[in-house]
Each structure stands twice: as structure tokens, then as C-alpha cells.
Amino acid sequence: MSPRQFALVVLAVVVLAIAWVAPPPAHAADGHGERVQLDPFRGQFVGVPASVLSPPADGEVYLHELEGFAVRRPDGSPLGLVSGFYELPGGLTLEIQGPKREFLLPFRKEFVLHVDRDARMMVVEPPEGLVEESE
């Protein structure tokens, strides 16, 4: 299985506690209807093959897909490519490799205006002073 066929969901789940809200949904844990059956997963990261994930809604993207997205300003001028991301206390932050240097951009609605998953591109309006006008 190639890395493209199997990718862990980057929003990995760490199972800290297990509790059912009665009655549990039929698909709650793929046939594991008893809480004790899920206890071995406590504290573990849970991942799934990318092929079984539901497609994200319009304007959404899975984190593992972000690397390589083109980053553009609203006028269409290129800023660079997403080269990584970090889950920081202030929220998700994108690492963008520009033509002259890399910079970090918070993945927030006031800065990330549009995400086109099919085109692997996003439109951003960086905060003033983050990116030089010549970049």
C-alpha cells in the first residue's frame, strides 16, 4: 500500500476516556458495542486508511492533504506552497515556503479566505507586515 493510499488522519484521536451515550449508535465502534472492548485503545492514536474517509465538505480539507497546496493572495499573485503545519496552542499554523523565505500563517478564517481541495490551492490574506510586498 503506497503512502498515497494510506494516510493517518492528522487530527489523530487520542482515546482518553470511553463513555457511551445510551443507546450507542449501531456503527459506534465497528461492532464494538461494549465499553470494555474499547478500553485497550485508551491512550492510543487511532488512524484510518484515507480511502475510507468521508469526503470533506466544501471549503474543508484533511490536514494530511495540505502539504503542497499553492498559496495565493486574493489578486491571484503567488505566495508559495504549504510545506508543513503545526498544531500550536493558538491553533493550526501553516508553514509556507515562499520564493525568498518561509513564513508561518495561522489557519484562521480572517487569513485563509478560500480553500480549493480539487485545485490544491488556497487564497489567503496574510496579516500586515508578515510578508514583504516584493514576495
Domain boundaries, the chain: 13-52, 63-124
pLDDT tens figures, 16-31? 454 544 444 444 555 5
- Write down the mean pLDDT value for the chain: 77
Distance CA 49, CA 8 (A): 7
Predicted local confidence at residue 105, as pLDDT? 95
pLDDT tens figures, 64-83? 889 999 999 999 999 999 99
What CATH number was assigned to the domain covering residues 63-124?
Answer: 2.30.30.240
Q: Tell me how long the chain is.
A: 135
From the list 116, 9, 112, 121, the residue with the least C-alpha distance to 59 is 116
